[in-house]
Structure 1
Amino acid sequence: MSLFSKSGILGKELKISNEEFTQLRDFIYDRSGIYIADNRKYLLENRLANRIKKLNLKDYGEYFYYLQYDPRKQQELNRLFEAVTTNETSFYRNPPQLKVFQDKVLKTVLDAQKAKRTKSLRIWSAGCSTGEEPYTLGIILHEVLGKDISQWNIKITANDLSEAVLMSARRGIYTDYALRTTPKEIVRKYFEEDGGKFKVIPEVKRLVSFGQINLNDKVQLKRVERSQIVFCRNVIIYFDDAVKKQVIGSFYDNLLPGGFLLIGHSESLHNISRAFKPIHHPGAIVYNKEG
């Protein structure tokens, strides 16, 4: 996500007042659960200046009014969410955690399903950004199951707050930068190269279903099909403790007994939830819903 330091309106730097910051910060929190601390006022100022310029508005106060009353406010709300979240991601991000997912978590879940004589698997990628994470999970499933994957009923539900990143995710076309952490043999096997771009093959794409969701909306979260595995990496860092507890509680409710939650390597459920059993592996902590 690029940062903008000034709006350039009439050649003057556009500054956000304390009152405007409070109005916009509270509005964003109310609509998305994303909390912007007082010491990050500059972030809001920088990232919204370009929107104000684009809409030909005078200041942040007019922008706040626009978000509430303009007929195009819903489209702008999507732009606002894009501006205040960072969509830095890649395929095969955090390989040690993905190895634990492949060798430990996935094996445990698949073995449990086989023991029940059912071959149904549901994975939820909450905060999927431009699709690299859910497609990576789809590729890993192909690697683990091989030809047997056709015998399984698999669905990876992938959600994000931003409709723009979801549009990109649905296309499934990426640059080599998105594949910078991906093994070369995986790229050759699961992507079609065309003019320097890399397209996810249909066999992987069909496993993933994309949709917009607001993790601060408990009603929306209850509609998500129950899962054996939930991925929510580098998302809860945007929330304050109250929203973190609510979101993690929703993940717990969504998970089937024995299910697993994986969060970002820099994130922790310490002081957020005691409902999960943390399982420590080299390079990753996995949270288990016992049952």
Structure 2
Amino acid sequence: MGSLFSSSITLRKSVKISDDEFVQLRDFIYEKSGIFVDIKRKYLFESRFSKRLAQLSLSSFADYIKYLKFGPNKNDELKKLYELVTTNETSLFRDIKQLDAFRDNVLKEKLDQQRKAGKLELNIWSAGCSSGEEPYTLSILIHEVLRMEIARWKINITAVDLSQPMIDKAKKGVYGDYSFKTTPDDIKKRYFTEAPDGWKIKPAVTKPITFQQMNLNDGLALKRIARSHIIFCRNVIIYFDENMKKKVVNSFYDNLLPDGYLMLGHSETLHKVSQSFKPIFHPGTIAYKKEG
């Protein structure tokens, strides 16, 4: 999940939103997704949603709120709403320093532990996977570390996102040049094949990954995720308020196996959110460890 409400230039006249309408729409979004939108972003509601209102032939945000709550296609519109409130700014091998630290420390530790326990399996949860770049990057890193040994392992990467269109894009596994801006050339050549509309990920990389649409505000859905050795949730909880952060992080804690790790984005922290994890400092990142 990338930055919230990335503004864009549009020639369409924005529909004005009143303070009361903003609060109603903000609260509806929060109730459904856990994403909290600050009043300072009110003008971005106007620029982002005006085109959608025109498509629906709605003249006001009050009408749009009624449509979301009572319209005949309210469930489909909820998916559109999720697209409007999240901008999926991501790329393959995003934040190289963190990934290097993950590979050389967290991943190595987990693989060594599993070998010693005689359990050649590893479960990773990518929570907020956007269009798939993160879980594919993790799969590539595991392939790079295990090499031929990977045939003996059972690797499971569960990748979830709020947006169904992002999940659909992720399943296709085809990316343009922008997605490779921080990807080493040798990795691109080794794990992708050229396609008419970009570069397609090779089947060996996709094999361990299961994609599904999921709302992190849905506690029951979260409980259905298999217990994880490692959870990646980067650039997601930054959009939650304190209560939602605690709710989601507690769910991550419950999901993690003993001594499992939670990896957050470089600008995110568990400070004031949870005391249940031990921060482990590595060059380029902090890994939050569930002890016991």
* 1:4 positional shift: 5.2
Which residue pairs with 2:282 in the alignment?
Answer: 281
State TM-score, norm by structure 2.
0.96
Asked if 2 retains the 8 angstrom alpha-carbon contact of 1:25 and 1:36, the reply is: yes
The Cα offsets for residues 23-62 of structure 1, whole Å up to 9 and x where unpaired, read as 1001000000000111111122221111101111111111
1:1-291 aligned at under 5 Å gives the runs 3=7, 8=12, 12-195=13-196, 197-291=198-292
Q: Secondary structure at the match of 2:143?
A: helix
Q: Secondary structure at the match of 1:15?
A: coil
Hey, what's the Cα distance between the residues in 1 that align with 2:61 and 2:7?
A: 16
Asked if 2 retains the 8 angstrom alpha-carbon contact of 1:113 and 1:119, the reply is: yes
Sequence identity, in percent?
52
Q: Secondary structure at the match of 1:224?
A: coil
* 1:3 positional shift: 3.3
Hey, what's the Cα distance between the residues in 2 that align with 1:225 and 1:182?
A: 30
* 1:13 positional shift: 3.7
Q: Secondary structure at the match of 2:259?
A: strand
Asked if 1 retains the 8 angstrom alpha-carbon contact of 2:174 and 2:197, the reply is: no
Hey, what's the Cα distance between the residues in 2 that align with 1:167 and 1:99?
A: 28
Distance of aligned partners of 1:214 and 1:58 in 2 relative to their CA distance in 1, 3 Å threshold:
same
Hey, what's the Cα distance between the residues in 2 that align with 1:102 and 1:14?
A: 48
Hey, what's the Cα distance between the residues in 2 that align with 1:262 and 1:176?
A: 26
Q: How many residues align?
A: 288
The Cα offsets for residues 155-197 of structure 1, whole Å up to 9 and x where unpaired, read as 1000000001000000000001101110000000000012351
The Cα offsets for residues 128-179 of structure 1, whole Å up to 9 and x where unpaired, read as 0000000000000100000111110111000000001000000000001101
Hey, what's the Cα distance between the residues in 1 that align with 2:138 and 2:86?
A: 23
* Larger RCO of the pair (alpha carbons < 8 Å, separation 6+): 2
Asked if 1 retains the 8 angstrom alpha-carbon contact of 2:259 and 2:289, the reply is: yes
Q: Secondary structure at the match of 1:199?
A: strand
* 1:73 positional shift: 1.0
* 1:7 positional shift: 7.9
Q: Which runs of 5+ in 1 are unaligned?
A: none
